Protein backbone atom coordinates (compact mmCIF):
# COMPACT_ATOMS: atom_id res chain seq x y z
CA UNK A 1 0.00 0.00 0.00
CA UNK A 2 2.87 2.25 0.70
CA UNK A 3 3.97 1.48 -2.74
CA UNK A 4 0.63 2.61 -4.10
CA UNK A 5 0.84 5.77 -2.05
CA UNK A 6 4.27 6.54 -3.37
CA UNK A 7 3.19 5.98 -6.93
CA UNK A 8 0.19 8.13 -6.30
CA UNK A 9 2.33 10.85 -4.68
CA UNK A 10 4.88 10.79 -7.48
CA UNK A 11 2.10 10.93 -10.02
CA UNK A 12 0.53 13.85 -8.18
CA UNK A 13 3.80 15.73 -7.95
CA UNK A 14 4.44 15.07 -11.59
CA UNK A 15 0.91 16.24 -12.50
CA UNK A 16 1.23 19.42 -10.44
CA UNK A 17 4.66 20.14 -11.88
CA UNK A 18 3.37 19.62 -15.41
CA UNK A 19 0.40 21.85 -14.74
CA UNK A 20 2.68 24.52 -13.30
CA UNK A 21 4.97 24.36 -16.31
CA UNK A 22 2.08 24.57 -18.77
CA UNK A 23 0.49 27.57 -17.12
CA UNK A 24 3.74 29.43 -16.66
CA UNK A 25 4.65 28.92 -20.34
CA UNK A 26 1.27 30.23 -21.38
CA UNK A 27 1.73 33.26 -19.20
CA UNK A 28 5.10 33.89 -20.73
CA UNK A 29 3.63 33.76 -24.21
CA UNK A 30 0.80 36.11 -23.25
CA UNK A 31 3.23 38.48 -21.66
CA UNK A 32 5.44 38.50 -24.71
CA UNK A 33 2.44 39.06 -26.97
CA UNK A 34 1.19 41.88 -24.78
CA UNK A 35 4.58 43.57 -24.69
CA UNK A 36 5.13 43.33 -28.44
CA UNK A 37 3.37 46.27 -30.07
CA UNK A 38 1.18 45.49 -33.05
CA UNK A 39 2.67 46.33 -36.42
CA UNK A 40 1.88 49.86 -37.57
CA UNK A 41 -1.10 50.09 -39.89
CA UNK A 42 -0.29 50.25 -43.55
CA UNK A 43 -0.36 53.81 -44.72
CA UNK A 44 -3.36 54.50 -46.94
CA UNK A 45 -2.72 56.69 -49.90
CA UNK A 46 -5.25 59.50 -49.81
CA UNK A 47 -5.36 61.52 -53.02
CA UNK A 48 -5.03 65.23 -52.53
CA UNK A 49 -8.27 67.17 -52.83
CA UNK A 50 -8.93 68.32 -56.38
CA UNK A 51 -7.71 71.76 -57.15
CA UNK A 52 -10.60 74.18 -57.22
CA UNK A 53 -10.63 76.56 -60.13
CA UNK A 54 -12.41 79.50 -58.53
CA UNK A 55 -12.48 81.50 -61.78
CA UNK A 56 -14.22 78.64 -63.59
CA UNK A 57 -16.68 78.24 -60.73
CA UNK A 58 -17.42 81.97 -60.74
CA UNK A 59 -17.94 81.97 -64.53
CA UNK A 60 -20.22 78.93 -64.29
CA UNK A 61 -22.27 80.58 -61.56
CA UNK A 62 -22.56 83.79 -63.59
CA UNK A 63 -23.69 81.80 -66.65
CA UNK A 64 -26.27 79.94 -64.56
CA UNK A 65 -27.61 83.23 -63.17
CA UNK A 66 -27.72 84.73 -66.67
CA UNK A 67 -29.70 81.72 -68.00
CA UNK A 68 -32.14 81.99 -65.09
CA UNK A 69 -32.57 85.72 -65.74
CA UNK A 70 -33.20 85.03 -69.45
CA UNK A 71 -35.79 82.38 -68.62
CA UNK A 72 -37.48 84.70 -66.14
CA UNK A 73 -37.54 87.50 -68.70
CA UNK A 74 -38.90 85.15 -71.39
CA UNK A 75 -41.68 84.02 -69.05
CA UNK A 76 -42.46 87.63 -68.17
CA UNK A 77 -42.61 88.65 -71.84
CA UNK A 78 -44.74 85.60 -72.69
CA UNK A 79 -47.21 86.62 -69.97
CA UNK A 80 -47.23 90.19 -71.27
CA UNK A 81 -47.89 88.97 -74.83
CA UNK A 82 -50.82 86.86 -73.64
CA UNK A 83 -52.28 89.79 -71.72
CA UNK A 84 -51.75 92.11 -74.70
CA UNK A 85 -53.49 89.76 -77.11
CA UNK A 86 -56.32 88.91 -74.69
CA UNK A 87 -57.53 92.51 -74.45
CA UNK A 88 -59.67 93.54 -77.40
CA UNK A 89 -61.30 96.88 -78.18
CA UNK A 90 -65.03 97.07 -78.95
CA UNK A 91 -67.17 99.15 -81.29
CA UNK A 92 -70.76 100.34 -81.37
CA UNK A 93 -73.19 98.86 -83.88
CA UNK A 94 -72.29 99.77 -87.48
CA UNK A 95 -69.47 102.10 -86.30
CA UNK A 96 -65.71 102.19 -86.75
CA UNK A 97 -65.03 105.16 -84.45
CA UNK A 98 -63.07 104.37 -81.29
CA UNK A 99 -64.84 104.70 -77.95
CA UNK A 100 -63.05 106.44 -75.08
CA UNK A 101 -62.61 103.08 -73.30
CA UNK A 102 -60.99 101.69 -76.44
CA UNK A 103 -58.64 104.70 -76.66
CA UNK A 104 -57.44 104.02 -73.09
CA UNK A 105 -56.74 100.38 -73.95
CA UNK A 106 -54.93 101.37 -77.15
CA UNK A 107 -52.80 103.96 -75.31
CA UNK A 108 -51.61 101.20 -72.98
CA UNK A 109 -50.88 98.94 -75.97
CA UNK A 110 -48.97 101.71 -77.78
CA UNK A 111 -46.76 102.22 -74.72
CA UNK A 112 -46.00 98.50 -74.55
CA UNK A 113 -45.22 98.37 -78.28
CA UNK A 114 -42.81 101.32 -77.98
CA UNK A 115 -40.99 99.52 -75.14
CA UNK A 116 -40.87 96.24 -77.11
CA UNK A 117 -39.76 97.15 -80.65
CA UNK A 118 -38.93 93.52 -81.47
CA UNK A 119 -42.65 92.81 -81.88
CA UNK A 120 -44.86 93.53 -84.87
CA UNK A 121 -48.63 93.76 -84.57
CA UNK A 122 -51.44 92.28 -86.58
CA UNK A 123 -54.78 94.08 -86.11
CA UNK A 124 -57.90 92.05 -86.88
CA UNK A 125 -61.25 93.76 -87.53
CA UNK A 126 -64.43 91.83 -86.66
CA UNK A 127 -68.19 92.40 -86.94
CA UNK A 128 -71.39 90.82 -85.70
CA UNK A 129 -73.51 88.68 -88.01
CA UNK A 130 -75.93 91.41 -89.07
CA UNK A 131 -75.31 92.82 -92.53
CA UNK A 132 -74.03 91.27 -95.73
CA UNK A 133 -70.70 89.50 -95.93
CA UNK A 134 -69.23 92.23 -98.16
CA UNK A 135 -70.51 95.04 -95.91
CA UNK A 136 -69.11 93.37 -92.77
CA UNK A 137 -65.71 92.75 -94.41
CA UNK A 138 -65.53 96.47 -95.29
CA UNK A 139 -66.67 97.48 -91.77
CA UNK A 140 -64.11 95.15 -90.17
CA UNK A 141 -61.41 96.74 -92.33
CA UNK A 142 -62.48 100.27 -91.29
CA UNK A 143 -62.31 99.18 -87.62
CA UNK A 144 -58.82 97.68 -88.03
CA UNK A 145 -57.66 100.82 -89.86
CA UNK A 146 -59.04 103.08 -87.11
CA UNK A 147 -56.97 101.16 -84.56
CA UNK A 148 -53.89 101.28 -86.84
CA UNK A 149 -54.18 105.08 -87.24
CA UNK A 150 -54.62 105.63 -83.50
CA UNK A 151 -51.59 103.50 -82.59
CA UNK A 152 -49.53 105.16 -85.33
CA UNK A 153 -50.45 108.59 -83.96
CA UNK A 154 -49.17 107.40 -80.54
CA UNK A 155 -45.74 106.60 -82.00
CA UNK A 156 -46.00 102.99 -83.16
CA UNK A 157 -44.33 102.67 -86.57
CA UNK A 158 -46.70 101.81 -89.39
CA UNK A 159 -44.15 99.32 -90.73
CA UNK A 160 -44.64 97.23 -87.58
CA UNK A 161 -48.42 96.98 -88.01
CA UNK A 162 -50.71 95.23 -90.46
CA UNK A 163 -54.49 94.97 -90.71
CA UNK A 164 -56.92 92.30 -91.80
CA UNK A 165 -60.71 92.06 -91.75
CA UNK A 166 -62.59 88.89 -90.89
CA UNK A 167 -66.00 90.54 -91.06
CA UNK A 168 -68.51 88.25 -89.37
CA UNK A 169 -66.55 85.03 -90.08
CA UNK A 170 -64.80 84.63 -86.69
CA UNK A 171 -67.26 85.47 -83.94
CA UNK A 172 -66.00 85.60 -80.35
CA UNK A 173 -69.48 84.48 -79.26
CA UNK A 174 -71.57 82.35 -81.66
CA UNK A 175 -74.91 83.17 -79.98
CA UNK A 176 -77.53 85.19 -81.86
CA UNK A 177 -78.41 87.92 -79.36
CA UNK A 178 -77.43 91.48 -78.42
CA UNK A 179 -74.81 90.43 -75.86
CA UNK A 180 -73.06 88.17 -78.38
CA UNK A 181 -73.21 90.83 -81.08
CA UNK A 182 -71.57 93.36 -78.72
CA UNK A 183 -68.67 90.93 -78.06
CA UNK A 184 -68.27 90.27 -81.79
CA UNK A 185 -67.90 93.97 -82.80
CA UNK A 186 -64.22 94.19 -81.98
CA UNK A 187 -60.61 94.55 -83.01
CA UNK A 188 -58.23 91.83 -81.86
CA UNK A 189 -54.43 91.84 -81.72
CA UNK A 190 -51.77 89.29 -82.64
CA UNK A 191 -48.13 89.92 -81.83
CA UNK A 192 -45.26 88.47 -83.82
CA UNK A 193 -41.48 88.71 -83.56
Q: Residue 48 falls within a domain, yes or no?
A: no
> What pLDDT does residue 90 have?
97
Q: Residue 82 falls within a domain, yes or no?
A: no
Res 57 pLDDT > 90: no
> What pLDDT does residue 51 have?
75
CA distance readout (Å), 100 to 83, 149, 179: 20, 15, 20
Q: What is the mean pLDDT of residues 51-63?
A: 85
CA 98 and chain centroid, separation: 40
Res 52 pLDDT > 80: no
113: CATH: 3.30.1330.60
Range of the domain at 117: 89-192
* Strongest mean pLDDT among 2-11, 63-72, 177-186: 177-186
> What is the C-alpha to C-alpha distance for residues 97 and 147, in angstroms, rounded to an integer?
9
Q: Residue 126 falls within a domain, yes or no?
A: yes
Res 121 pLDDT > 70: yes
Q: What is the mean pLDDT of residues 57-66?
A: 89
Q: How many domains does the chain have?
A: 1
Amino acid sequence: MIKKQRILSVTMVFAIASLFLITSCAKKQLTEQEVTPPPPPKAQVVPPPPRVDTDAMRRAEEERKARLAEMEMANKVRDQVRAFEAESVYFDFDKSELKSSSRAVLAKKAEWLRKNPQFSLGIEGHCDERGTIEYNLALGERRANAVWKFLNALGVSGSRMSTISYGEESPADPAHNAAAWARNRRAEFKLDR
